[in-house]
Structure 1
């Protein structure tokens, strides 16, 4: 392998890394460097937890909305961008993570992550909008009274969420 050529090509593709990496470069980086994730714990007044259905080719099942931190991006910025993309609105955020987890999944290309779980609050008039999604399709949102089994990478939150739903 010609390392200099590889690095030169990578630098061309990384002109604006804060906007996200091209898929091929992201996949490579994720396979050799731990990723930092933020996950959004959103609970309503009934103590239900908001979960989203994930079907992205690697994961199938319920998960806490979350996203991977981008280059030179703060946790707060990533949380708000994730909230807009996955939930459709901005959220209020607790400044301190509720839980920090190291996730090592040898069977996935994103095999190592550091995940920070932040408690977040929705605006008072928030309503789930699934008009463009069918049940159990990627991104489908649902309030949960009890916690179903989460996707593999988020099982570290299972017991904490079950306690919150009591």
Structure 2
């Protein structure tokens, strides 16, 4: 199969890349180009930080700032809202449109998902927000918890944000 045929096949199999990509294709693309992601720094009125538990074969196991990779033709603001919906279970979140930080991560020991451009946004939730965590435990992926300080088991790739935590 030549490149033209391969591209035609991909266009047929993935007619709407904005909706997401099959894992195999996503992993291949992540081997060939940097990924752009947004991260949501969320603090409550007491200065606590909202983090989510993650178990990822590439990033590792530990706490992380909620975030997500921007899809094709998706704006930063759209991805911030999508992360709020998917990871926090809220319809919308307030955020400052000016990023707090812009970082480049090159993970030399990762062939897949090894190069990121990470954009950190300052976000806020209503004072009444309480993580639901229905049916999951604090060691289950997606579990949300407020932290008074940066936990020791923050994912290594998120150490770029320690000054904000």
Query: Could you say which TM-score interval applies, normalised by the shorter chain?
Result: over 0.9
* Residue 135 (structure 1) shift: 1.2
Which residue in 1 is equivalent to 2:104?
102
1:146 aligns with 2:149: yes
**In structure 1, distance between residues paired with 2:125 and 2:67:** 15
* Residue 64 (structure 1) shift: 0.1
Which residue in 1 is equivalent to 2:16?
16
Segments of structure 1 that go 5 or more residues without pairing to the other structure are 162-166
Which residue in 2 is equivalent to 1:78?
79
Count matched residues.
Answer: 161
**In structure 1, distance between residues paired with 2:64 and 2:95:** 19
* Residue 151 (structure 1) shift: 1.0
Deviation digits for residues 10-54 of structure 1, max 9, x if unmatched?
222331011011111111111111000000000001100000010
* Residue 7 (structure 1) shift: 1.7
Q: Structure 1 residue runs of 4+, over 3 Å off?
A: none
1:119 aligns with 2:122: yes
Normalised TM-score (structure 1): 0.92
Which residue in 1 is equivalent to 2:7?
7
Segments of structure 2 that go 5 or more residues without pairing to the other structure are none
* Residue 160 (structure 1) shift: 2.6
Normalised TM-score (structure 2): 0.92
Instruction: Indicate if the aligned counterparts of 1:13 and 1:22 stay in contact, CA closer than 8 A.
Output: no
Which residue in 2 is equivalent to 1:53?
53
**In structure 1, distance between residues paired with 2:26 and 2:12:** 14
